[in-house]
Amino acid sequence: MIAKINAFFKKISEATNDQQNDEITIKMACAVLLCEVVRADGHLDQQEKTKLKSLLTRQFHLERDDVESIVNKALLLSEHATDFYQFTSKLNQHYSIEERIKIVELLWILAYADGELASIEEHIIRKIADLLHLRHSEYIQTKNKR
């Protein structure tokens, strides 16, 4: 009986995870990673949120309503994410190294949007860059470009 109940919950959990992974688009994966940097220092100010929307609009040629929807969903996903892998793996599958470097450049731009760089923001960007398979020299170049 307990084995059947455990199997039932495992099946539901796997179905939910598969559905969530299918729903994560490249745009959403990028948006969530950007949100991770915005949320890193513990406060989301209007300047950072405006910059986030601007970067997403420019990067993906989105309409204003689409950006609002993506940002809201990305913030929610970011709050509940247990790791970055589900998002970075999507980018690794579909983006070239140059495109992944561009994403890390956007992370730096966003980290400095409020005029200061918190050490936790730098730590998160480094983690994301590693998961995007950037070499250390590429990571340093993105930081210097900001």
Mean pLDDT, the chain, rounded, equals 87
pLDDT digits (tens, 9 = 90+) for 72-87: 999 999 999 999 999 9
Q: Between residues 126 and 115, which one has the greater pLDDT? A: 126
Model pLDDT, residue 19: 42
User: Three-state DSSP class for 80?
Assistant: helix
Backbone angles phi, psi at 39, to 5 degrees: -85, -10
User: Three-state DSSP class for 44?
Assistant: coil
CB 133 within 8 A of CB 95: no
pLDDT digits (tens, 9 = 90+) for 3-54: 666 665 566 655 444 444 446 899 999 999 999 999 998 878 888 889 999 9
Model pLDDT, residue 21: 45
Q: Between residues 11 and 144, which one has the greater pLDDT? A: 144
Domains parsed from the chain with CATH numbers:
25-145 (1.10.3680.10)
At a CB cut-off of 8 Å and minimum separation 6, what does 35 contact? 52, 71, 74, 75, 77, 78
Q: Between residues 42 and 132, which one has the greater pLDDT? A: 132
pLDDT score of 61 more than 80: yes
